[in-house]
Structure 1
Amino acid sequence: TTNGWSKVTVSGKTGYVESKYLSTTKPVVTTKYVDVDESSSLILRSTASETGTILTSLKRGTSVTVYSTAGDWAKVEANGKTGYVHSKYLSLTKPSTSSNTPSTSSTTNNNNTSSSSNTNTASTSNSNSSSNVTENDHSDSNSTTTSESIIKYVNVSNGSSLNMRSTPSSSASIVTKLARGTAVTFYSEANGWSLVSANGKTGYVNSAYLSSTVVQLPGAATAKISKVYEAYNITLNDAVNIQMKVNPQTDKKYSTFISSSAFSSLNSSTNPTQGVVSGTWNIRGGAGTNYWVVATAKNGTTLKILSKVKAADGSTWYQVSLDQSWVNASPDDVKYYLDPNNFSSDAIQQLQFLKLSTSANLDPAEVNEKILAGKGILAGKAAAFIKAGQTYGINEIYLIAHALLETGKGTSDLANGVSYKGVTVYNMYGIGAYDNDPTTGGAAYAYSQGWTTPEKAIIGGAAFIAKDFINAGQDTLYKMRWNPNAAAASNTATHQYATDIGWASKQVQQIYNLYSLLTSYSLTLDIPTYKE
């Protein structure tokens, strides 16, 4: 220990930590339960402050591990995430589903609406993937059912927008403004305020201006929407089995189990709370080898044990806590996202089938006014996006969404011009901007392509976006993720944009919000059908 820092070794790595956070005695760790109204949820924040970043929301009855309590805040772990919650909403006993409990938000005055509109972005990145090994068995079984987010819609008068605020108060700072019809992810409601997220922002809105049903948009009556159906010579169940062979990923949290034989040592023979793994073992979605493999535990891994379970064959298994962001998805969850019937009638989710090789037939003046206004270097560039779409056969809304995301709504260095070998170049889609040095990489690629104006970058970059997937026939988000044609033709899961089973579903809310700003557009939906 030197100058307040201690050199330590943990989990095979050596480094330095602040000494004041080390103790010679092990902290007391307890299990408590979220105790809020059934219609509310408890916010888990990154810091012990109302201004801390929202990590997730915890439903009534959720079990949390409490590490420490200071003042009004408790440091806890829940659903694989560690953060801070208000300690007064935690209980030592699990609350029933019918009791009344305190709410999670303070009282406040009504919110107001304003006449300005908001724009949105869509994510196009794929998730992380992980590899897996198996034991001497390969069978799958059912998992817990997929739970969907609650979506609501902004319902204000035409031409107005709803203020999203930083706290549930009409005097709080405005985070962003949401146009009529904007789809928001709803987390909780208390005292007339709803905690929601939309367009990459999270905050509070007046609950009176949210609707549980799709709000009629100004252009809905005149927008041209057509549907085509593409049949694949494969059953849905066969498609699921093909996907399971390549370990599709999810960030969903499962109950996970490991055989008692996996542990070389336990901290207690009667009621163990942790154990050390010997060798490489599968962690499964149930107590038994008939359940699918969620992840693997390598030799020397220490796992937190939650309970002891007897499998159907009489063998002993332990339910363990798995601290891993991405895991192998269950067959049921893969089937849910593969099945077009779960999405084709939903106003938002049907955009998984938006044919990206078809023009949106946009009005450039409307796009400049309602989507690109105030978006930095992208402002006024609607004509360039429309030309890019027409030149390379790609939906203009998809291009705009991609550019808004990659440029930070037109504010990034690459978007605004970077000098490379004495030439100012532009990059609107982040092409070549690798993590180790994104600015230099993106500039070098732009230089090689001659993107010396914003317009050249918008139009030229569209060719790159279209090349690998859209021009190859994978011209919907659904096809980019699942590639059903390859599955039917070659019985393999290949050339897929992402490993996350929910990737396509996660993109469409913000694409929907872009369309909701417009009155003049057309779209074609290409919906897959599988054999019975």
Structure 2
Amino acid sequence: KGSHLILRSTASTSGSVLASLDPGTSVTVLSTSGEWSKVQVGSKTGYVHTEYLTSTKPSSTSNSSSSTTKTTTKYVNVDKGSHLILRSTASTSGSVLASLDPGTSVTVLSTSGEWSKVQVGNKTGYVHTEYLTSTKPSTSDDQSGNSDSEQTVTKYTTADLNLRKSNSTSSSVITVIPKGTAVTVYSETNGWARVTVNGNTGYVSTKYLTGGATLNGKVTTVEQDYDISLSQLTNIEMKASPQTDTNNRYVRSDAVKKTSSTTGTLDGSWNVRDGAGTNYDVAETLPSGTSVTILDTVAGTDGHTWYKISYNKTWKNATANEVEYYLNPKNFINDPVSSLQFLKLSTTANIDVNEVNQKILAGKGTLAGKAQSFITAAKTYGVNELYLISHALLETGNGTSQLAKGYPYTYKGKTYTVYNMYGIGAYDGNAVEDGAAYAYSQGWFSPEAAIIGGARFIANGYISAGQDTLYAMRWNPSGAATYGYATHQYATDIGWAYKQVNEIYNLYNLLDSYSITLEVPNYK
């Protein structure tokens, strides 16, 4: 009471203010995307924060969830030597505003799901709620939390394994992870690993994790020759400003003027390298006064002590060494999971309908029982069935999104139920309505039509152009060999193709009957 909700012209705090809404104001919600809702109030249409809307009208004396919510003070609770990332949005893709030390005091403005909006000094941003505590932790304690700035590794389950909410056998089970599933491991402490798998984050016993994986189905490998050497391709890619989100960045210890045991500023302009020693490539040169976080202290190859550091950049310029590593197929082809970046997406997986419906699509909302539609889509447009299924599960939240369940779209006064299984045309800011409009234009009035019709759009972009592996989508070696420069590439992240394969592997791993064709580059 006494505060107001801002109606903005765009789904951003930088959008112009259209109105200031009193508590209890009735609004018509047109669509919701992320933390923003598109609403109509009288003759005005704009955007408001979804967390400040409620289905029941609050009384004028109620303690509503609007911006009048009382703030609380909490403290960063992560391992000594780790840091909690303050981000611009409630997402791990949000830009990094600051790196918070253990025990840092923050003012919690609001909490929604797994994220808290906090203020630290003059900065306001978002952090993972689970790494906040009401009591200030001792910086010498072995805290149980871990920040999202830590490096991750991929491991595989050796048995059907419970994913739990906390590191205890008495903690509730989030889901059961099938044997052989690839999981992203953030940390391992006292017999427990904090992992992410299929969009869920929790804890599993480390005794049931291994570094090795296998594929059950038939795997055929073919080579694709390119009239270009690996070093030539690396030089071409370096001119396209490739990016990396790695924290493998090092600077000599005498470059840093420490402000605490884990923070400091650069004392002068210094080269930052991809390894500890002057024989490693220079990633970039940072100016004097740049704030850095010290992640580790290592002995350099040149006899000096070096610091492994992070700084105020989520994305950094990749070095030639790093680019060549991800370009070189020999670094990935012998691993059953990472080799899937060479999966030829224009070839059929020869899946069994009943097996896919039972083992992959069961319980997946509108997608349940739709294996035959994916097979038809694959054969019609030449796109691998498992790739389509992986794409659809991701975009629809396992078949439960508004567009997956059927969205009422009104055109010229008549309402149609439309479906969109791959998020095609669903642009940020007005995703549901835009995705529905695209589905209407394509005649996707059933789940089957959306699955089959959407496959044509996916095929036309890269696969039909001959870039029919994740590796080729990212690097397009054929284009580089033909034109002498980088062209028609899906991403600037050098690890993009490598990062996509866990979910595809996990789908294949659930099945006994399938075939895989790998198309592996061969450079001169």
Alignment TM class, shorter chain as reference: 0.5 to 0.7
**Cα separation, partners in 2 of 1:445 and 1:55, compared to 1, 3 Å:** closer
Distance, in Å, in 2 between the alignment partners of 1:451 and 1:331 is 45
Match of 2:427 in 1: 434
> CA offset at residue 207 of structure 1?
2.4
Matching residue's letter, 1:451: W
Matches within 5 A, 1:21-32: none
**Cα separation, partners in 2 of 1:294 and 1:448, compared to 1, 3 Å:** farther
Indicate the SS of the match to 2:104. strand
**Cα separation, partners in 2 of 1:54 and 1:35, compared to 1, 3 Å:** farther
Indicate the SS of the match to 1:372. coil
Match of 2:22 in 1: none
Determine whether 1:200 maps to 2:199: yes
Determine whether 1:180 maps to 2:173: no
Q: Which moved more, 1:470-479 or 1:416-425?
A: 416-425
Distance, in Å, in 2 between the alignment partners of 1:102 and 1:66 is 11
Instruction: Select the residue among 313, 318, 324 that pairs with 1:324.
Output: 313
Instruction: Select the residue among 398, 405, 421 that pairs with 2:394.
Output: 405
> CA offset at residue 330 of structure 1?
1.6
Distance, in Å, in 1 between the alignment partners of 2:163 and 2:383 is 33
Match of 1:110 in 2: none
> CA offset at residue 285 of structure 1?
4.4
On the 8 A contact 1:45/1:85 being kept in 2, the answer is no
Determine whether 1:373 maps to 2:362: yes
**Cα separation, partners in 2 of 1:347 and 1:81, compared to 1, 3 Å:** farther
**Cα separation, partners in 2 of 1:387 and 1:429, compared to 1, 3 Å:** same
Match of 1:455 in 2: 448
Match of 1:246 in 2: 240
Match of 1:68 in 2: 104
Determine whether 1:346 maps to 2:339: no
Distance, in Å, in 1 between the alignment partners of 2:189 and 2:338 is 28
Matching residue's letter, 2:515: S
Indicate the SS of the match to 2:523. strand
**Cα separation, partners in 2 of 1:14 and 1:504, compared to 1, 3 Å:** same
> CA offset at residue 470 of structure 1?
0.4
On the 8 A contact 1:165/1:205 being kept in 2, the answer is yes
- Please list the CA deviations of residues 137-195 of structure 1 after superposition, one character each: whole Å capped at 9, or x if unmatched: xxxxxxxxxx9843221112xxxx31100001222122221111101122333333222
Determine whether 1:510 maps to 2:503: yes
On the 8 A contact 1:46/1:55 being kept in 2, the answer is no
On the 8 A contact 1:418/1:425 being kept in 2, the answer is yes
**Cα separation, partners in 2 of 1:89 and 1:391, compared to 1, 3 Å:** farther
Distance, in Å, in 1 between the alignment partners of 2:352 and 2:419 is 25
Distance, in Å, in 1 between the alignment partners of 2:293 and 2:143 is 29
Matches within 5 A, 1:225-304: 225-253=219-247, 255=249, 285=273, 292=282, 294=284, 303-304=290-291
Unaligned runs of at least 5 residues, structure 2: 5-13, 18-66, 72-76, 94-98, 107-118, 295-307
Instruction: Select the residue among 454, 465, 473 that pairs with 1:480.
Output: 473
> CA offset at residue 360 of structure 1?
0.1
Give % identity: 48
TM-score normalized with structure 2 length: 0.67
TM-score normalized with structure 1 length: 0.66
**Cα separation, partners in 2 of 1:43 and 1:375, compared to 1, 3 Å:** farther
Match of 1:39 in 2: none
Higher RCO, 1 or 2 (CA under 8 Å, sep at least 6)?
1
**Cα separation, partners in 2 of 1:257 and 1:197, compared to 1, 3 Å:** same
On the 8 A contact 2:248/2:309 being kept in 1, the answer is no
Indicate the SS of the match to 1:528. strand
**Cα separation, partners in 2 of 1:488 and 1:90, compared to 1, 3 Å:** farther
Match of 2:384 in 1: 395
**Cα separation, partners in 2 of 1:403 and 1:55, compared to 1, 3 Å:** closer
Unaligned runs of at least 5 residues, structure 1: 5-11, 22-31, 37-41, 48-52, 57-62, 92-100, 106-146, 259-265, 308-318
Match of 2:514 in 1: 521
Distance, in Å, in 2 between the alignment partners of 1:399 and 1:88 is 46
> CA offset at residue 410 of structure 1?
0.4
Matching residue's letter, 1:378: L
Indicate the SS of the match to 2:358. helix
Matching residue's letter, 1:465: I
Instruction: Select the residue among 151, 156, 163 that pairs with 1:153.
Output: 156
> CA offset at residue 329 of structure 1?
1.3
On the 8 A contact 1:55/1:81 being kept in 2, the answer is no
**Cα separation, partners in 2 of 1:76 and 1:253, compared to 1, 3 Å:** farther
**Cα separation, partners in 2 of 1:293 and 1:333, compared to 1, 3 Å:** closer
- Please list the CA deviations of residues 69-92 of structure 1 after superposition, one character each: whole Å capped at 9, or x if unmatched: 59xxxx999xx997747875745x
Determine whether 1:362 maps to 2:342: no
- Please list the CA deviations of residues 217-257 of structure 1 after superposition, one character each: whole Å capped at 9, or x if unmatched: 7xx2xx22100011111111111111111101111235488
Match of 1:311 in 2: none
> CA offset at residue 484 of structure 1?
0.5
Distance, in Å, in 1 between the alignment partners of 2:206 and 2:498 is 25
> CA offset at residue 362 of structure 1?
0.6
Instruction: Select the residue among 457, 460, 464 that pairs with 1:464.
Output: 457
- Please list the CA deviations of residues 88-124 of structure 1 after superposition, one character each: whole Å capped at 9, or x if unmatched: 5745xxxxxxxxx95748xxxxxxxxxxxxxxxxxxx
Distance, in Å, in 2 between the alignment partners of 1:320 and 1:183 is 29
Distance, in Å, in 1 between the alignment partners of 2:460 and 2:240 is 24
Match of 1:210 in 2: 209
Matching residue's letter, 1:153: Y
On the 8 A contact 1:186/1:196 being kept in 2, the answer is yes
- Please list the CA deviations of residues 15-56 of structure 1 after superposition, one character each: whole Å capped at 9, or x if unmatched: 9x99x99xxxxxxxxxx99558xxxxx684889xxxxx9979
How much is the aligned-residue C-alpha RMSD, in angstroms?
4.6
Distance, in Å, in 1 between the alignment partners of 2:270 and 2:437 is 44
On the 8 A contact 1:162/1:205 being kept in 2, the answer is yes
> CA offset at residue 463 of structure 1?
0.3
Distance, in Å, in 1 between the alignment partners of 2:312 and 2:85 is 18
